[in-house]
């Protein structure tokens, strides 16, 4: 059965929750602190990552020759700008509920400005290709496992992450195609990606631990007991993530080499809902 990501049932449910002022549960993802904070920590790093990509692709755009790739670049710029806007609102909501999102967003910004100052356009595009690989394999997991479906996930968050993930899956090859079009080679891509991945992993992990500590659940056995199978189990997020992440280092790698099962057959909508999604995060409640 084909279930569009924007289906009436989910849209109406999410709108009702927002209209009635029902707060998003602190542990909105399967009532699990670890899973919830993993995604919240990802959101914290997203806006600055998106803006880094937009700046690099805007700079590269004038050098692209293929008409179809220019079109893809424009679409990437549009979509990443919308993602940054929705996750900015999401992150303000995190600060509102007592999670130090602003602090970790600032750290991500510092890291990316460091790259921007010291790296050539080729190196920055390699970092973009790595970030896009991250987001595509993240989206693949969301849709291959169907983990966001179910009553134990807030419908508003399901829509935000499904929308973002589907767009990431669809534009997953744009950054690496631009990188190659402009002459980017294997070794720059590999070592830059390795270096950038290590630093991103450190920022993301410190954010996750910081969030858990701020809610005093970092040292609670219950947090880890309930969450670890989702994270490190046989089909855990990190395990699946690592299996796909490493494929980036194959010399001829292309994102389309990774099959996406999309178990629920969620479909991309191609109309703009970012204005609706931002409304899910009213400030100062
Ligand atoms: Fe994005
Ligand atoms: Fe993207």
Q: In this structure, what token pair is assigned to residue 244?
A: 């796909």
Q: What is the CATH number of the domain that holds 15?
A: 1.10.620
Per the structure, the count of domains in the chain is 1
Closest C-alpha to 216, from 101, 99, 103: 99
Burial class (CB in 10 A: 0-12, 13-18, 19+), 51: middle
Q: What is the dihedral of CA 86, 87, 88, 91, to 10 degrees?
A: 130
- CA of residue 269 to ligand 1 center, whole Å: 15
Do the domain assignments include residue 285? no
Domain interval for residue 113 = 3-278
Which stretches of the chain are assigned E, i.e. beta strand? 3-4, 266-267
Ligand nearest to the CA of 174: 2
Q: Is residue 166 part of a domain?
A: yes
**Whether the Cβ atoms of residue 111 and residue 231 lie closer than 8 Å to each other:** no
Helix (H) or strand (E) holding 108: helix 101-118
Q: Per the domain annotation, does 127 fall within a domain?
A: yes
pTM of the model: 0.92
Residue 147 is assigned to a structural domain of this protein: yes
Instruction: Tell me if 84 is assigned to some domain.
Output: yes
Residues with CB under 5 A from ligand 1 (ion): 80, 83
pLDDT per residue, tens digit, the chain (285 aa), is 445 455 677 888 888 888 888 889 989 998 889 999 999 999 999 999 999 999 999 999 999 999 999 999 999 999 999 999 999 999 999 999 999 999 999 999 999 999 999 999 999 999 999 999 999 999 888 888 888 887 789 999 999 998 999 899 999 999 999 999 999 999 999 999 999 999 999 999 999 999 999 999 899 888 888 888 887 777 777 788 888 999 999 999 999 999 887 666 666 565 678 888 998 998 755
Ligand in nearest proximity to the CA of 51: 1
């Amino acid at each position: 059965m084909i279930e569009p990501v924007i289906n009436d049932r989910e849209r109406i449910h999410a709108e009702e929750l927002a209209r009635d002022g029902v707060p998003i549960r602190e542990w909105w993802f399967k009532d699990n602190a670890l899973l919830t904070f993993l995604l919240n920590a990802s959101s914290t790093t997203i806006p600055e990552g998106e803006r880094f990509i937009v700046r690099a692709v805007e700079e590269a755009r004038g050098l692209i020759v293929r008409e179809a790739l220019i079109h893809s670049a424009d679409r990437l710029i549009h979509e990443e700008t919308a993602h940054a806007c929705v996750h900015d609102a999401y992150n303000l909501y995190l600060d509102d509920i007592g999670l130090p999102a602003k602090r970790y967003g600032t750290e991500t910004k510092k890291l990316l400005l460091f790259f921007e100052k010291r790296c050539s356009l080729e190196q920055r595009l390699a970092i973009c290709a790595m970030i896009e690989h991250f987001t595509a394999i993240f989206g693949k997991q969301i849709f291959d496992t169907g983990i966001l479906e179910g009553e134990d996930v807030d419908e508003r968050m399901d829509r935000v992450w499904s929308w973002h993930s589907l767009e990431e899956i669809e534009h997953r090859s744009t950054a690496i195609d631009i990188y190659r079009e402009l002459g980017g080679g294997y070794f720059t891509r590999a070592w830059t990606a390795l270096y950038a991945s290590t630093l991103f992993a450190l920022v993301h992990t410190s954010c996750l631990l910081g969030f858990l500590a701020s809610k005093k659940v970092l040292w609670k056995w219950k947090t880890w007991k309930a969450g670890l199978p989702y994270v490190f189990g046989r089909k855990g997020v990190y395990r699946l993530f690592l299996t796909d992440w490493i494929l980036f280092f194959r010399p001829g790698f292309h994102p389309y080499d990774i099959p996406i099962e999309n178990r629920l057959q969620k479909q991309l909508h191609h109309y703009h809902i970012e204005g609706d999604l931002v409304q899910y995060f009213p400030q100062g409640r």
